[in-house]
Amino acid sequence: MADWDDLKVFLAVARGESLSRAGRVLKMDAATVGRRVARLEEALGARLFTRSPQGYLLTDEGGRLVAHAQAMETGMERARDALAGPSEGISGQVRIGAPDGCANYLLPQVVAAIAAENPGLEVQIVALPRVFSLSRREADMVIAVSKPEQGRVLAQKITDYRLHLAASDGYLAQTGPLTRLEDLRGRRVIGYIPDMIFDRELDYLADLGVEQPPIASNSVSVQLNLIRQGAGVGVVHDFALPAAPGVRRVLTGDFSLTRAFYLIRHADDRRVPRIERFAAALIAGLRAEVQRLEQLAQHP
């Protein structure tokens, strides 16, 4: 009969597909992780992983065990919350995956406020311009720019946000004002690297007919810093502009985009009070912060 400690090791290997990655998560050496997996396989009388140069891949038996192990994990989370009690506030570790625009310009102040009210809380922000895997537990929750169309997840809309073309005062002084979209001809446009756009909602320049921006990055913050340095004109989140003195919105009457952030979580986590309370605080904080920063962008 498998106990929870062994199942926890099993889940870490299943998610990381590697003994060493699982060991880093569990804070134990890879050899110990391997022995625990072997012990679990012997106890269950089943081979749970196929070992290959690509890593540890689940067998059919291992795949069937994952759902049961995840249910046990959720049960342990709920038990820990029940023992802590509501008066303890939010505690434990929460990892958030987010696109770098949100992670750089919104999450720091929102998370700081939540952490100040919950001393027992540990928050990790993973800022990467890509899609995160919830099934592999790369994060407990993910902020995304589009709602998932499949998968056993819980998706909540956080808020709309707006984007406009922007340029630095120095660039406009050097190249002349922009009064209509036609003025963009011959100007350097800054945007995403086309083959690294991981979500169609990030294809901001398609409406302008720009397929290959001459200066590009897969990072929103790098794009904004390029604009600050006078490298060209680009599409910028309104909520990021207060962090970029000397950069102003241009052609606001001719070009404007509205996108949305969604909070994506494991469906089972709706039964975990700690995660529920954190998600509610995060959504409320992000809504208020987007509204505050967008108002500042309109009246710099």
Residue 24 belongs to domain spanning: 4-84
On whether both 205 and 248 belong to a single domain, the answer is yes
Which of the listed residues 49, 84, 119 is the one where a domain comes to its end? Answer: 84
On whether both 59 and 114 belong to a single domain, the answer is no
pLDDT of residue 165: 97
The CATH number covering residue 74 comes to 1.10.10.10
On whether both 125 and 246 belong to a single domain, the answer is yes
- For the chain, give the DSSP string: ---HHHHHHHHHHHHHSSHHHHHHHHTS-HHHHHHHHHHHHHHHTS--EEEETTEEEE-HHHHHHHHHHHHHHHHHHHHHHHHH-GGG-S-EEEEEEE-HHHHHHTHHHHHHHHHHH-TTEEEEEEE-SS---TTTTS-SEEEESS--SSSSEEEEEEEEEEEEEEEEHHHHHHH----SGGGGTTS-EEE--GGG--SGGG-GGGGGT-SS-SEE-S-HHHHHHHHHTTS-EEEEEGGGGGGSTTEEEE-TTT--EEEEEEEEEEGGGGG-HHHHHHHHHHHHHHHHHHHHHHHHHH--
On whether both 118 and 30 belong to a single domain, the answer is no
pLDDT of residue 133: 57
List, for residues 140-193, the tens digit of each pLDDT value: 889 999 888 766 788 899 999 999 999 999 999 999 999 999 999 889 999 999
List, for residues 250-291, the tens digit of each pLDDT value: 999 999 999 999 999 887 776 677 788 899 999 999 999 999
List, for residues 79-101, the tens digit of each pLDDT value: 666 665 555 677 788 889 999 99
Count of structural domains within the chain: 2
The CATH number covering residue 167 comes to 3.40.190.290
List, for residues 21-48, the tens digit of each pLDDT value: 888 888 899 899 989 988 888 888 889 8
Which of the listed residues 65, 84, 103 is the one where a domain comes to its end? Answer: 84
On whether both 129 and 74 belong to a single domain, the answer is no
Band of residue 78 on the pLDDT scale cut at 50, 70, 90: low
**Global pTM value:** 0.74
On whether both 227 and 135 belong to a single domain, the answer is yes
On whether both 12 and 140 belong to a single domain, the answer is no
pLDDT of residue 131: 57
Which of the listed residues 84, 106, 123 is the one where a domain comes to its end? Answer: 84
pLDDT of residue 67: 76
